[in-house]
Amino acid sequence: MTNPEVAARSRWAYLLEAGVWLVFVLLAFIYTFQFDDPLPVYDWGPAHWPRVILLCMFAASLRLLYRDWRQSGFLIQSAGRASDGDNSTQLETSIKIRMVLIFIVPVLYTFLMHKMGFLLVTPFFLFGYMWLMGVQRIRTLIVLTICIYSALVLIFVKLIFTYLPPGAGIFNALNGKFLGLLM
């Protein structure tokens, strides 16, 4: 397969990935109407925050689609000039591995969150996932991880008093001690 064909095929892969995310967000948004009963203490109901997050995911998916579609157009133009077939297959394999990991890591995070607790697992997940998504500068990774983690803890623990999975066994005790420090 020539480089322009690989670039054109990757363009459709970008479209497929964004389409899968958009369908997922749409189905999850529709699902939120099944638990939208009014709450006596929260006027907007239990589906408000999931819908806000889903709308943010929708916007991020559209932005990803636009960026990747535009970037793949540049790939097609530059691929016509390049002729190194071995390099393109290596790049294609790397992209496939990364795409698989992008879907596997959140599943692993969800499993570990229930075993080890939200407060202990989340910083490692954020750091690893951002690295997987392409942030490569260590300083940027550390600063973003601290900022996002702090914002999550502040919002969910201090502002809306949401129960976060505490983990099991010794991790439950560690999360409890950490939560005690925050309160």
Task: Summarize pLDDT for 129-143 with one digit per residue, the tens.
Answer: 888 888 889 999 999
Do 168 and 137 have their domain in common?
A: yes
The CA distances from residue 81 to 46, 74, 118, 169, in Å, are: 54, 11, 48, 59
Is this prediction's pTM over 0.75? no
Do 59 and 129 have their domain in common?
A: no
pLDDT in tens, 2-18: 555 555 556 677 778 77
Distance CA 14, CA 81 (A): 22
pLDDT in tens, 31-86: 888 776 776 766 766 777 788 888 888 888 888 777 777 776 654 455 455 555 55
Contact 45, 39 (CB under 8 A): yes
Confidence of residue 159 (pLDDT cuts 50, 70, 90): confident
Query: What's the number of domains the chain is made of?
Result: 2
Do 30 and 119 have their domain in common?
A: no
Instruction: Note down the domain range covering 166.
Output: 85-183
**Dihedral angle sign, alpha carbons of residues 160, 154, 25, 102:** negative
Do 78 and 44 have their domain in common?
A: yes
Do 72 and 8 have their domain in common?
A: yes
DSSP code for 35: G
